[in-house]
Amino acid sequence: MKARFLAWLLVLSVSAWGAEKVSPEVFRALKDAEHHLNANHPAASLKTLETIKTKAKSGTEQALVEAYSSYAYLALGRHAQAASAAQAALANAGLPEELRPKLFLVLGQAQLQNERFLEAAEALEQALAKGADNEIRYLAAYARYRLRQYDHAAALIQQAIKASAAPPEEWYRLLVACYVEDKRYSEAAKTLEALLKTRSQNPELWRQWLALQLKARRPQEALAAMVLAWRAGQLAQEQLLDLARLHAAAGLPEKAARLIAEWRNEKRLPQTQDTLRLEAELWLMARERRQALPVFAQLASLSGKGSDWLTAARLAAELQSWSETAKLARNALQAGLSDPAEAELWLGIAAYHLDDPAAAEAALTRAQNSRRHMAYAQYWRGCLKKRPQRCR
């Protein structure tokens, strides 16, 4: 986390304590150091302070030199030295009281960078005790978050967000992170929802919001959220599939399948095996076999798997589409199956219904070699012998 060098806290004035508390030489050097700090030249400030360290005799002089040094070290990114100087100043009874909250802030920021999060949190909360500031609340919340004290961190960042007219996005993100770590997914989703009101064009936020709705096991809310995101044009291809799955989870598999078909036709979704398989399975969930059959056939053509051709053949048989059954079963056998008996069975039954007894007998004889399909194959061979009486 980058140091947040709060410039408005660094506007110091040696004159506030008066030259009577420091020697003229130290007073002038502190004024020069102050000038360099306010001009954003911390290295020059530190160089000036080094010249008077040995000349600072009183407690106030020594405290002020350490205080100014801590600011300069922090601005230079020398965080260990910034913390050390701030601690030395705070331990000095001569430090002017009004500088204490500023020094606690420097100490807190330095210890954040040093990854000493407990010391950082304690120092930043000391700074807060002297005067509320939302930026300091955010820093303290971050320190508590790194300590895995998620409730404490959430309380601090909530206060900052509530008290700010326009809270930065990172404040909301920290609050969301606290809730997620604490498995408070519903509250995390509500926080992101508030953020989306002003950042509705951010697709990453939409995706995070949808994921949180799912984690919260609120499929109806997640579905509503996804529909909103879809209408806003914020869903990527994978999220479109998630939207379809949510429709299915909400008891609307036919709607889900129709959406995928529509998106495929519009080329918003690619003709991949995963997309086709999901659509076909959704049609089956909706008991729409006639809709599922051509999708399964398309899937089989794309995957080249015998198992996919066999599924399509099975569907065609259930629909008593015998020419289609025979074609799909032959495709399954040609593609290769670990156990071809079921495909032979469907091929034989289709041949029976297509009045091709020789082909039916050959296929059913091959199917009969499988224990699993033996009885059914024998039944249909028996039907061949009963011709012209028909079996169903």
pLDDT at residue 7 in the model: 39
Per residue in 339-385, pLDDT (tens digit) is 899 999 999 999 989 989 999 899 999 988 888 888 888 898 888 88
pLDDT of 1 > 80? The answer is no
Question: CA 350 to CA 182: how far, in whole Å?
Answer: 59
Residue with the larger pLDDT of the pair 51 and 322: 322
Structure tokens at 183: 């498995």
Give the distance, in angstroms, between the CA of residue 213 and the centroid of all CA atoms in the same chain.
11
The residue ranking higher by pLDDT, 81 or 245, is 81
In the chain, % of residues over pLDDT 90: 37
Neighbours of 151 (CB within 10 A): 11
- Name the CA radius of gyration of the chain, rounded: 37
pLDDT at 61: 84
Report residue 288's pLDDT band, with 50, 70 and 90 as the boundaries.
Answer: very high
Sign of the alpha-carbon torsion through 143, 144, 147, 148: negative
pLDDT exceeds cutoff 90 at 309: yes
Does the pLDDT of residue 274 top 50, yes or no? Answer: yes
Residues 50-74 pLDDT 10s: 888 877 778 888 888 888 899 999 9
At 116-125, the pLDDT tens digits run 999 999 999 9
How far apart (Å, rounded) are the C-alpha atoms in residues 13 and 9? Answer: 11
Higher pLDDT, residue 28 or 211: 28
End-to-end CA distance of the chain: 74
Asked if pLDDT for residue 327 goes beyond 90, the answer is yes
pLDDT of the residue at 5: 44
Q: Give the residue among 264, 236, 113 at the shortest CA–CA distance from 277.
A: 264
**Model pLDDT, residue 34:** 85
Whether the predicted model's global pTM rises above the 0.75 cut: no
**pLDDT over threshold 80, residue 222:** no
**What's the pLDDT tens digit per position in 177-220?**
998 898 888 888 888 877 777 765 666 777 676 677 666 656 56
Max CA pair span of the chain:
124
Taking phi over 0 as left and psi of -120 to 50 as alpha, with beta for the rest, 148 belongs to left
What is the predicted pLDDT for the residue at 93? 87
pLDDT value at residue 104? 92
Q: Provide the percentage of residues in the chain whose pLDDT is more than 70.
A: 84
pLDDT in tens, 89-107: 999 988 888 888 889 999 9
User: What's the distance, CA 11 to chain centroid?
Assistant: 40
* pLDDT at position 263 over 60: yes
Give the pair of three-digit tokens for residue 201: 């064009």
pLDDT of residue 237: 67
The pLDDT score that the predictor gives to residue 114 is: 92
Of 177-191, 217-231, 259-273, the one with minimum mean pLDDT is 217-231
Q: Residue 241: its pLDDT value, please?
A: 76
Mind giving me the DSSP string for 311-380? HHHHHHHHTT-HHHHHHHHHHHHHH--SSTHHHHHHHHHHHHHTT-HHHHHHHHHHHTTSTTTHHHHHHH
Residue type, 170: E
